[in-house]
Amino acid sequence: MILCWKNSPELIVVSQNAKQHDISRVASKRAITRQSLPDVIAGDIRERILDGDLPEGFTIRQEALAEEYDVSRMLVREALKRLDAEGLVQLSNNQGATVTKHSLDEIGEIFDLRILIEVNLFRRAIQAMKTTQIERCEKILEAMEASYDANIAVRLKVNPLQYAIGQPLNIPPEQNGI
Protein backbone atom coordinates (compact mmCIF):
# COMPACT_ATOMS: atom_id res chain seq x y z
CA MET A 1 0.00 0.00 0.00
CA ILE A 2 1.27 3.47 -0.93
CA LEU A 3 0.26 6.63 0.90
CA CYS A 4 0.50 9.94 -0.93
CA TRP A 5 0.15 13.49 0.36
CA LYS A 6 1.06 15.72 -2.54
CA ASN A 7 0.04 19.37 -2.90
CA SER A 8 -3.29 18.47 -1.43
CA PRO A 9 -5.03 18.70 1.91
CA GLU A 10 -6.21 15.13 1.48
CA LEU A 11 -4.63 11.74 1.86
CA ILE A 12 -4.94 9.23 -0.98
CA VAL A 13 -4.46 5.51 -0.41
CA VAL A 14 -3.36 3.46 -3.42
CA SER A 15 -3.12 -0.31 -3.32
CA GLN A 16 -0.06 -1.76 -5.11
CA ASN A 17 -2.01 -4.91 -5.98
CA ALA A 18 -4.82 -2.99 -7.68
CA LYS A 19 -5.63 -4.07 -11.22
CA GLN A 20 -7.27 -0.85 -12.40
CA HIS A 21 -5.85 1.97 -10.28
CA ASP A 22 -7.87 1.12 -7.19
CA ILE A 23 -7.82 4.42 -5.34
CA SER A 24 -9.81 4.95 -2.17
CA ARG A 25 -10.08 8.46 -0.82
CA VAL A 26 -9.60 9.16 2.85
CA ALA A 27 -10.79 12.77 2.59
CA SER A 28 -13.16 14.86 0.49
CA LYS A 29 -13.13 15.13 -3.31
CA ARG A 30 -10.63 17.39 -5.01
CA ALA A 31 -11.44 18.79 -8.40
CA ILE A 32 -8.65 19.30 -10.88
CA THR A 33 -8.98 22.71 -12.45
CA ARG A 34 -7.81 23.20 -15.98
CA GLN A 35 -6.25 26.50 -16.83
CA SER A 36 -5.73 28.18 -20.15
CA LEU A 37 -2.29 29.49 -21.02
CA PRO A 38 -3.35 33.11 -20.37
CA ASP A 39 -4.59 32.01 -16.92
CA VAL A 40 -1.24 30.38 -16.15
CA ILE A 41 0.69 33.42 -17.36
CA ALA A 42 -1.61 35.79 -15.43
CA GLY A 43 -1.14 33.65 -12.32
CA ASP A 44 2.64 33.79 -12.60
CA ILE A 45 2.68 37.56 -13.20
CA ARG A 46 0.22 38.03 -10.31
CA GLU A 47 2.54 36.07 -8.01
CA ARG A 48 5.53 38.12 -9.17
CA ILE A 49 3.64 41.34 -8.42
CA LEU A 50 2.48 40.16 -5.00
CA ASP A 51 5.97 38.91 -4.14
CA GLY A 52 7.41 42.31 -5.03
CA ASP A 53 9.47 41.01 -7.96
CA LEU A 54 7.55 43.48 -10.15
CA PRO A 55 7.29 46.63 -8.00
CA GLU A 56 4.60 49.32 -8.16
CA GLY A 57 5.02 51.54 -11.18
CA PHE A 58 7.12 48.95 -13.05
CA THR A 59 6.47 49.00 -16.82
CA ILE A 60 5.69 45.57 -18.21
CA ARG A 61 6.48 45.10 -21.90
CA GLN A 62 4.42 42.49 -23.75
CA GLU A 63 7.28 41.62 -26.10
CA ALA A 64 9.63 40.86 -23.23
CA LEU A 65 7.05 38.69 -21.46
CA ALA A 66 6.18 36.85 -24.69
CA GLU A 67 9.86 36.03 -25.14
CA GLU A 68 10.27 35.08 -21.47
CA TYR A 69 7.27 32.72 -21.49
CA ASP A 70 7.95 31.59 -25.08
CA VAL A 71 4.40 32.39 -26.19
CA SER A 72 2.73 34.84 -28.56
CA ARG A 73 2.08 38.46 -27.61
CA MET A 74 -1.67 37.76 -27.90
CA LEU A 75 -1.52 35.32 -24.97
CA VAL A 76 0.45 37.81 -22.89
CA ARG A 77 -2.02 40.57 -23.81
CA GLU A 78 -4.92 38.37 -22.66
CA ALA A 79 -3.15 37.66 -19.36
CA LEU A 80 -2.51 41.37 -18.83
CA LYS A 81 -6.18 42.15 -19.57
CA ARG A 82 -7.15 39.78 -16.75
CA LEU A 83 -4.71 41.43 -14.37
CA ASP A 84 -6.01 44.84 -15.46
CA ALA A 85 -9.55 43.70 -14.58
CA GLU A 86 -8.23 42.66 -11.14
CA GLY A 87 -6.61 46.07 -10.68
CA LEU A 88 -3.05 44.71 -10.45
CA VAL A 89 -1.86 46.38 -13.66
CA GLN A 90 -2.98 49.30 -15.80
CA LEU A 91 -2.96 48.71 -19.55
CA SER A 92 -1.97 51.56 -21.86
CA ASN A 93 -2.26 51.53 -25.64
CA ASN A 94 1.13 51.08 -27.31
CA GLN A 95 2.89 51.26 -23.94
CA GLY A 96 2.28 47.84 -22.42
CA ALA A 97 1.17 47.67 -18.82
CA THR A 98 2.26 49.23 -15.57
CA VAL A 99 2.04 47.63 -12.15
CA THR A 100 -0.64 49.57 -10.30
CA LYS A 101 0.39 52.01 -7.60
CA HIS A 102 -1.97 52.14 -4.64
CA SER A 103 -2.34 55.14 -2.39
CA LEU A 104 -2.50 54.71 1.39
CA ASP A 105 -6.22 55.53 1.23
CA GLU A 106 -6.82 52.74 -1.30
CA ILE A 107 -4.83 50.26 0.78
CA GLY A 108 -6.86 51.28 3.84
CA GLU A 109 -10.11 50.71 1.92
CA ILE A 110 -8.95 47.26 0.80
CA PHE A 111 -8.13 46.25 4.37
CA ASP A 112 -11.49 47.62 5.62
CA LEU A 113 -13.36 45.57 2.99
CA ARG A 114 -11.37 42.45 3.80
CA ILE A 115 -12.21 42.83 7.48
CA LEU A 116 -15.94 43.05 6.67
CA ILE A 117 -15.82 39.99 4.42
CA GLU A 118 -13.55 37.90 6.63
CA VAL A 119 -15.49 38.51 9.84
CA ASN A 120 -18.68 37.37 8.08
CA LEU A 121 -16.97 34.26 6.69
CA PHE A 122 -15.40 33.39 10.05
CA ARG A 123 -18.76 33.78 11.79
CA ARG A 124 -20.45 31.42 9.29
CA ALA A 125 -17.57 28.93 9.27
CA ILE A 126 -17.26 28.67 13.04
CA GLN A 127 -20.97 27.85 13.35
CA ALA A 128 -20.55 25.03 10.84
CA MET A 129 -17.34 23.61 12.36
CA LYS A 130 -17.00 20.35 14.19
CA THR A 131 -14.83 20.02 17.29
CA THR A 132 -12.02 18.37 15.33
CA GLN A 133 -11.97 21.25 12.84
CA ILE A 134 -11.79 23.82 15.64
CA GLU A 135 -8.91 21.89 17.24
CA ARG A 136 -7.14 21.81 13.87
CA CYS A 137 -7.53 25.61 13.55
CA GLU A 138 -6.10 26.07 17.03
CA LYS A 139 -3.04 23.98 16.10
CA ILE A 140 -2.57 25.96 12.88
CA LEU A 141 -2.82 29.24 14.81
CA GLU A 142 -0.25 28.03 17.35
CA ALA A 143 2.14 27.06 14.54
CA MET A 144 1.62 30.43 12.82
CA GLU A 145 2.22 32.32 16.07
CA ALA A 146 5.39 30.31 16.67
CA SER A 147 6.65 31.19 13.19
CA TYR A 148 5.91 34.88 13.81
CA ASP A 149 7.69 34.70 17.17
CA ALA A 150 10.68 33.10 15.44
CA ASN A 151 10.48 35.90 12.86
CA ILE A 152 9.85 33.42 10.06
CA ALA A 153 7.57 34.63 7.29
CA VAL A 154 6.33 32.01 4.87
CA ARG A 155 4.12 32.80 1.88
CA LEU A 156 1.89 29.88 1.02
CA LYS A 157 -0.32 29.50 -2.03
CA VAL A 158 -3.07 28.28 0.27
CA ASN A 159 -2.96 29.48 3.84
CA PRO A 160 -3.71 26.43 6.05
CA LEU A 161 -5.95 28.48 8.34
CA GLN A 162 -7.90 29.85 5.38
CA TYR A 163 -8.30 26.32 4.07
CA ALA A 164 -9.46 25.01 7.46
CA ILE A 165 -11.97 27.86 7.82
CA GLY A 166 -13.21 27.44 4.25
CA GLN A 167 -13.80 23.68 4.56
CA PRO A 168 -17.02 23.86 6.59
CA LEU A 169 -18.43 26.31 4.05
CA ASN A 170 -17.37 24.08 1.12
CA ILE A 171 -15.18 26.83 -0.32
CA PRO A 172 -12.51 25.37 -2.63
CA PRO A 173 -8.94 26.34 -1.59
CA GLU A 174 -8.28 28.20 -4.84
CA GLN A 175 -11.33 30.42 -4.19
CA ASN A 176 -10.65 30.93 -0.50
CA GLY A 177 -8.84 34.24 -0.68
CA ILE A 178 -9.49 35.31 2.90
- b/e code 43-70 from CB counts within 10 Å (16+ = b): eebbeebeeeebeeeeebebeebbeebe
Could you report the per-residue pLDDT of 68-124, keeping only the tens digit for each?
A: 999 999 999 999 999 999 989 999 887 779 999 988 898 889 889 988 988 888 888
* SS3 of residue 100 by DSSP: coil
- b/e code 130-159 from CB counts within 10 Å (16+ = b): eeebeebbeebeeeeeeeeeeeeeeeeebb
Q: Which domain holds residue 22?
A: 1-30
pLDDT at 110: 85
Clarify whether residues 67 and 117 are in a common domain: no
Clarify whether residues 56 and 80 are in a common domain: yes
Clarify whether residues 109 and 89 are in a common domain: no
Clarify whether residues 160 and 110 are in a common domain: yes
> Structural domain tally of the chain?
3
Clarify whether residues 127 and 169 are in a common domain: yes
> pTM of the prediction?
0.52
Clarify whether residues 60 and 15 are in a common domain: no
Higher-scoring residue by pLDDT: 13, 75: 75
pLDDT at 69: 94
pLDDT at 159: 59
pLDDT at 59: 92
Clarify whether residues 110 and 170 are in a common domain: yes
* Sign of CA pseudo-dihedral 49, 54, 55, 58: negative
CATH at 95:
1.10.10.10
Q: Which amino acid would we find at residue 149?
A: D
84, with CB counted inside 10 A (0-12, 13-18, 19+), is middle
Clarify whether residues 94 and 110 are in a common domain: no
